[in-house]
Structures are given as C-alpha cells and as structure tokens.
Structure 1
Amino acid sequence: MSDYETFELGDVVLQKGATLRNAKLAYKTFGTLNADKSNVIVLLTYMASTHYDNQWVIREGSALDPSKYFIIIPNIFGNGLSSSPSNTPPPYNKARFPLVTYYDNIKCQHRLLTERFGIERIRLVTGWSMAAAQTFHWGALFPDMVQAICPTAGSARTAPHNYVMLEGVKAALTADDAFKDGWYDVQPAKGLRAMGRVYAGWGFSQDFYRQKEYLNLGFSSLEDFIVAFWEQWFNLRDANNMVVMIRTWQAGDISDNELYHGDFVRALGAIKARAIVMPGNCDLYFPPEDSAFEVAHMPNAELRPFISNHGHFAGGSGLREADVRFLDDAWRELLAD
C-alpha cells in the first residue's frame, strides 16, 4: 500500500521530442481544498527526493499548516515514484529514458492541478534546489495563476559552473564498471558511494567543515559524516534515476520554451508573483550573485539570503533550526499578502 496517488497522464510528448507513453505523476496532498479553491500551496521535490523528504515542513502551527491550506507535493519525473527509468517499461526503460525538462515537469503538474482538482489559482509555490528551479518555472510559465513564489537555494537557469559541478557528480557515478552504461542488473554501489563523496564537498560550506558542524548533527567524525550521511543518501537511490534528474537539472532554463525563445531577462520579467528569493549566503553552486541578477529583473521580488554556514543545505534540509525558522517566516509573509 502506498500513501500517495498517481495521476495518469497518458502519452506525453516531451519538450525535446520523445513521447513518454503511459506517463505517471505521483503526488500526495495534505489538508482540504476549500470551496473557492483559493488555499492551494504547491511544494515541489528536489534532487534524489520524494514527497516523503518534504512533508516534515507540513504541520499544524507552521506556515504550511494543513488545517488552513491544501498542499500538493507532485513528485519530479525520475525520482522513482513518478515516471522514471526504474519503473518505465521498454522502449524507454533504464538507460533509454528520455530527457525530461523542468518545462515538461511543470506542464504535467499544471495538468494535475487543473484536470484533477479544477484549480485556477495558487497561493504559493515553493521548493529547494531543483525544486526552486521548478518554482521559477511555475512563475514564468503560468504568471497569471501563481500569486507567490519562494525559491530557496536554486536558480531560474542552470549556470555553467553548476553544470560542470554536476558533470563531476555524474562522472563519479557512471565510472563504476557495474553501471554498464545504465544497463545494470544490480545497483552500481561503488558509483553511488562515489557520487555521495563528491557531493559532500559541495553541499555544505568550507566553514561548516572548518567548525566541525557535522559533530552537532550526531556524527562522530568527518569520515562518519561522509559515509553515514552522504554515501547512505545515495545508496538508497537508483543510479539511472540519478542520471535522469541530473540531466533535467543541467537543462534548466525558464526561457527555453515557446513563450520566451531563450530571452532569459524577458522570462524573469514575466513573473508576476510576489517573490522572496532565498539563496544561501555561502552556497557553493547556487551563489547569491546569481539570485541577485534574477531578482533585479523580476518586477515583484526580494532577495533574502540565508546567513548560515550550512551552505546549500541551509535552503531546505531542516538540519539547522535557525534556517527552518527563517524559511517559515518568509512563507508566512507571502501567505499573509
């Protein structure tokens, strides 16, 4: 028995040309949709996550209170619950799974909201990292539908440096001989562990490691943190699913579509939603300088960075209580507008 529902999308013609047949979008809802359907929050999933990893922020008394709001968590394609290499039959199984862009994800999520629930307005769209990128896409693709957005530790367009960082992560995974170009029968455990060790140098800041903050998180040493946090996080994933989500991330660009034809500044300017954009002040691959450029070209946006040595993980991991409160306050402000 699963605790989520599945929206049957049928055959989806993807942005880059392939047709994903019998596509499925897994989602979970919290709370009750009110009579005029005005209490909707969309909370998005990030790299290597499912709705299970997000739902800790949904609790009574918090900003995302299910007694007040109808909260939908749609699972990103490739995460193992929505259509993914690990659950799709031939011809697009395993290594043949096609490139699915953020554009494809948001178009299908829009179908879920409109066709399943009849929703026409969204109070807030929010998410961390890859989910922040989806948040920007929601604002740009459906500017008249979204009232507020709060992207945390993410970008509207994947920067070249970020692309290169992801190449390193992907290379560590796929270099394992057991990966077999994606046609493995058992998970390439060595590659997944290597992926975790590479990511460990990017997820948190230099000061986090300098101050040995991992000891405050319950780990007994640096090596214990790398093994029990980072390696274990990826040990639980499917390798092809990881590659697909990395490819989605690398292709991220809110202007790469028929609306904006590659004009990134125009796409940013089209976002009507009230926005609080929240980078980490020491995020190593989503630097606040990129967020400042985005905010400068959005008509109703504020830059509000996390001040935290947790780096990228300040934006949505829940590991540092001060960061959690900072994010919750921003959500409250947007929902009160």
Structure 2
Amino acid sequence: MDYEIFDLGDVTLQSGVTLPNAFLAYKTYGRLNEEKDNVIVYPTAFGDQHVQNEWLIGSGMALDPQNYFIIVPNLLGNGLSSSPSNTPPPFDRANFPHVTIYDNVRFQHRLVTEKFGIKKIALVVGWSMGGIQAFQWGASYPDMVERIAPFNGLAKTWPQTYVVLDGVKAPLMAAVGYDSSKLNQLTSADMRAVGRVYAGWGVSHAFYKEELYRTLGFESLEAFLTGVWEDSFMKMDPHNVLAMLWTGQHADISDNPAYNGNIGMALSSIKALACIMPGSTDLFCTADDNEYEASLIPNATFSPIKSIWGHFAGRGIHSPDNTFIDDNLKRLLTLRTDH
C-alpha cells in the first residue's frame, strides 16, 4: 500500500446521513517544514487515484517535493477513500450515501489541520473535479488558502456539464432497465458503454479529426476507443462511478450554509491568488464558464491552455500542455500574497 489512511470516524454528510467509520486515503510527497507553510493540497479528480496526479510532481517542477509538502487526498467514492466498493452494509455498493464536494473538502481540512497542524496552505491545485475542490477550498477557507489553480475544472456544474455527466451515467441505468432497485446487479462489464459515451467528450473534435490518437500508439480510431476509453472505464467499479458522478453532477461551491447557493458571493469571497486554466477546446468544462467564474474572483488570472486535447489537456499526457500548466504554477508560487 503506497498511501496512508486518515480515520474520520462517524461523519454527518451534508445530506444529513451519518456515514460510519469514514476515512480518507492520502499520499504525501516531500517534508513539512518547521513553519508548516510549504503546503500544497492536490485533490484527485473523478475516477482518479493519487497515482494519476504524480505526473505533475517532481524535481525541478512547480510541485517539487524538495521544496514543498504535497498532500494528495483521494476523492470519496474513488475506491481508496470511503467508497461504495469498500464500505460494509448497509452503505455498500448502490446504498452508499450522496457525498458532495463540500463534504470532501471539509474532510480534507480535518486531515490537514488535525493530522499535520497546518494553518496556511500555499496552493490548492487540481484537474477537473480536483479543480472544483480547489475552488471549494478557496471559498470555504479563504483565510487559510493563499493560492488556487484549478485546471479543466469549474466552480460549479453548469447545466450543460450536468447533462454530459447524465449521459455518462445513462448506460449504467439502461443496463438495469432504469430500475434503481437493481443497481447492485451492475458489473464492470457494464462500464464498457460508459467509456464509449465519455470518448466523445474527453478530447476535442480536432483531436479526432487530426488523428492524434496515433501519437499515443493507436493505429486506428477503433483501437483508441477500445484501448483507452473502454479499458480505462472497465477497470472502475460501477458503483464507485455512480457515486462520483453524483458528486460531480451536484458540485457547486456555493451550495452550503456559508453562501446558500449564491455562486457570485462564493467566488467573490475567495481571497486566494487564483490562476484559472481551462482547456481552450474543453467540451464540457468550458473556457467560457471558467472565464465568467474568474471574472468574479478578486485576484484571478484567466490563462487558457491552448490545446486541441480538450478536457484531457489537463491529464498529463501531452507535453506542451504539461509545460504550460507547470509554468503557470511556478509563476503563481512566486507571487506574494497579502493574507
């Protein structure tokens, strides 16, 4: 096991349901300094585990373990933290309670403060649903978080994004005849169609037209659809995927007692220096939505990743995109904060 467990105990979720013996799986890189001010929090995205974040961590990079103490908490529902696949009855599989982004960040805050005694965070960074968590950190703990850098991630699941995620969920519902009482019958084989649906959203129109899958070693479109989208989704537990989809579909950094659904108030309350990096061709976490969100954050820069890799411009696959993200993080970390 290359990660650690932080026991949360019995937690009351935003839904009001109490999840017993909850836990966060996390991994750290580097060392916490004496001042405890070299902290970077880097939450995982939908379907990812800490290993998938490691492309952005390394010697000479912005997230350099020689300079920073980097904490990667795993999203609830991802199979390592409390999830449908590892929770005993009565909350196993399809019976797992709904977990929000707000819940996730609240538990991560407990990890950071209770386990490590940290009072200031230099940066919260994340891709996709990890980006939503970066926004949530900034809104929930404005005096603690000095910088945020969401890439290919929104502060709120806007209607079109919701519809896309609903389309990703639809094959699983169809597999049980839209009868939610039969969801426990789902198997990883039912995830094959989910991969096919997501394939149309993960990268851009231009990516497919220019056959960039060939740069990844796939000789044909069919080989790419099977070898990347089907295979990666079939490795996931369908109940974990449904849990994370619910979290994603209902993500909104203002949906909590602090902001009561006022997204403008939530964004304008973020004191952190923010670098917002959408993918210029992202089809469902769009640059337009991010530009609107960035306009409401007092200290935000809007820096699109000019790339035809769509949502996956932030996935750590395409070297120029990786460099762009890393360079922006380096620049952000050199800026002085006033809080």
Q: Which runs of 5+ in 1 are unaligned?
A: none
CA distance in 2, matches of 1:85, 1:319: 29
Q: Show the counterpart of 2:15.
A: 16
**Quick check: 1:197–1:230 contact (8 Å CA) kept in 2?**
yes
Over the aligned positions, Cα root-mean-square deviation in angstroms equals 1.2
SS of residue matched to 2:46: coil
SS of residue matched to 2:26: strand
| Aligned AA (1:330) | N
**Quick check: 1:155–1:290 contact (8 Å CA) kept in 2?**
yes
Deviation at 1:90, TM superposition (A): 1.1
| Residues 1:183 and 2:181 are matched in the alignment | no
CA distance in 2, matches of 1:198, 1:34: 45
TM-score where L is the length of structure 2: 0.96
Q: Show the counterpart of 2:216.
A: 217
Deviation at 1:56, TM superposition (A): 2.1
Q: Show the counterpart of 1:325.
A: 323
CA distance in 1, matches of 2:176, 2:294: 44
5 Å-filtered alignment, 1:83-162, equals: 83-162=82-161
After superposition, give the CA deviation of every residue in 1:2-38 in whole Å (9 maximum; x if it has no partner).
1110000001000011101000100000000000001
Counting aligned pairs with the same residue, the percent is 52
Q: Which runs of 5+ in 2 are unaligned?
A: none
Q: Show the counterpart of 2:165.
A: 166
Q: Show the counterpart of 1:241.
A: 240
TM-score where L is the length of structure 1: 0.97
| Aligned AA (1:196) | G
Q: Show the counterpart of 2:194.
A: 195
**Quick check: 2:188–2:236 contact (8 Å CA) kept in 1?**
no
CA distance in 2, matches of 1:21, 1:272: 34
SS of residue matched to 1:150: strand
Deviation at 1:188, TM superposition (A): 3.9
5 Å-filtered alignment, 1:255-266, equals: 255-266=254-265
Q: How many residues get paired?
A: 333
**Quick check: 1:196–1:230 contact (8 Å CA) kept in 2?**
yes
Q: Show the counterpart of 1:60.
A: 59
Deviation at 1:177, TM superposition (A): 4.2
**Quick check: 1:176–1:188 contact (8 Å CA) kept in 2?**
no
SS of residue matched to 1:175: helix
Deviation at 1:206, TM superposition (A): 0.3
